[in-house]
Amino acid sequence: DRIPWLCALHDILRREEASRQDAVLACSALKKIYRCILVSGPAALESNEPEKPRENTALKILFVHLDGPVDVIARRLEKRRGHFMSPELLKSQFDTLEPPRAPENFITVSIEKSLPEIVLEIEKGIFS
């Protein structure tokens, strides 16, 4: 059920690239195939090797993997009000998670850092 949504996000990113616009997209692309779809669109589903995107469809995306201990994330979720993500869903999210690995284009940033430190680290990843 996520595939059409991920393909639509790929299309939005493709349009931004065609307009020479930079874009920031926030979503929980927990599985490798989800990230492949964001990079290559439906072509990722057709390929026997989705981790090797076709040159004509591939977007250059830097994935930011926000990493942290379950207990820290659980405490933060418990403090949220009016958010769709309940703390009871956290375990299933960690069970589903396939952390990015080479050759994916990503950086890992600890959520235990301060917000300014997190932003600075992401900026360094973008501009390096």
How far, in Å, CA of 87 to CA of 85, rounded?
A: 7
Angle (CA) 2-57-10 rounded to 5° is: 30
C-alpha span between 83 and 77 (Å, rounded): 9
Specify whether the CB–CB gap between 21 and 4 falls below 8 A: no
Q: Where are the beta strands (DSSP E) in 11-126?
A: 63-67, 106-110
Q: What is the pLDDT of residues 74-128, one digit of tens each?
A: 888 888 777 667 777 888 999 999 999 999 999 999 999 999 999 999 999 999 8
User: In the numeric block, which tokens belong to residue 30?
Assistant: 């927990």
Q: Answer whether 65's CB lies under 8 Å from 107's CB.
A: yes
Residue 78, both tokens: 């418990």
- Could you tell me the pTM of the whole model? 0.85
Give the number of domains in the chain: 1
For residue 8, is pLDDT > 60? yes
**Where residue 94 sits, what CATH number does that domain have?**
3.40.50.300
Task: State the residue range of the domain holding 122.
Answer: 2-127
Average pLDDT, the chain: 89
Distance CA 54, CA 125 (A): 24
